[in-house]
Amino acid sequence: MEWTIGWWQISVQRVYPTNAELSRAYNRAAAWWHQHLSFLGYRYAYRNLWRSLHQGNIFPSLRGSLTVCDCGIGTAAFSLALTESIGTNAHIVGIDLSAEMLQKADQWLTLARVDHHLCQSDVRTLPFAGDFFDMAISAHMLEHLSNPTEGLQEIYRVLRPGAPLVLVITRSGIVGSLIQWHWGNSCFSPKELINLMAEAGFENLRIIPFPFGLARFTSFACVGFRACKMAEDR
């Protein structure tokens, strides 16, 4: 935004936290983050979301053991909700910038006896081969990227053809703006996120609202699928 006042031009530009700044912020939050999510009802909301997706047969082709990439895993709340609610035999590969968050994720996943591997990495440069994962999931990570399309395209690359991505995103609005002020993240409307995911190549997109609780007002979920190989080859 720019304004001209007399002989002066004043501009305001959105500034995103650097990776180092994000890492430090979430390192400081790691000790209380899991309990914080429980207190605000997010862990309960996450479990209800996964049950709803499972009961709605959103992922009919996913059976047996799954290799799942959790981008911005934090303390593993979203991954734990997946394994608790769907009951799938999942191998969780967690990515995060924060070493302290990864340490907490390891503790919680080990306690829950979930097979896992954790990696300190940027989602925009995932250290995996293409066509590797059966599913990708992410809760409140994409909003921290100055160019979300870069992150979405990298997630698309490591998914197998036809594999789903499940995102939870901070919703635009008054509450979202308060979260944005504290953490320096962006907020999205459902339409904005749909456009971003379509631009990255995802298809069969659908928005899933949280049914009740604080999560309904702060967040929403979106599901999309990497195009099948035949569609990509056309």
For 199-221, give the DSSP string. HTT-EEEEEE---SSHHHHHEEE
**Cβ proximity of 167 and 142 under 8 Å:** yes
More confident residue, 87 or 147: 147
Closest residue by Cα to residue 25 from 106, 140, 108, 174: 140
Strands (E) located in the chain: 2-5, 8-11, 65-71, 89-96, 116-120, 135-139, 164-170, 203-208, 219-225
Question: How many residues are there in the chain?
Answer: 234
Predicted confidence band of residue 153 (pLDDT cuts 50, 70, 90): very high
Predicted pLDDT at 174: 59
pTM attached to this predicted model: 0.89
**Cβ proximity of 95 and 123 under 8 Å:** yes
The percentage of residues in the chain with a pLDDT greater than 90, rounded to a whole number, is 65
Using N-to-C axis directions, what is the helix angle for 99-111 and 19-39, rounded to 10°? Answer: 40
Predicted confidence band of residue 134 (pLDDT cuts 50, 70, 90): very high
How many CB atoms neighbour CB 36 within 10 A? Answer: 14
Closest residue by Cα to residue 165 from 96, 224, 94: 224
How many CB atoms neighbour CB 43 within 10 A? Answer: 21
Predicted pLDDT at 14: 59
Closest residue by Cα to residue 43 from 224, 219, 228: 219
In the predicted structure, residue 234 carries a pLDDT above the cut 80: no
Closest residue by Cα to residue 214 from 170, 184, 180: 170
Report the range of poorest mean pLDDT among 51-60, 119-128, 162-171: 51-60
Using N-to-C axis directions, what is the helix angle for 77-86 and 99-111, rounded to 10°? Answer: 20
Strands (E) located in 72-144: 89-96, 116-120, 135-139
Predicted pLDDT at 130: 96
Per the listing, tokens 């608790």 go with 84
- Class assignment of domain 17-233? alpha beta
In the predicted structure, residue 12 carries a pLDDT above the cut 60: no
In the predicted structure, residue 95 carries a pLDDT above the cut 60: yes
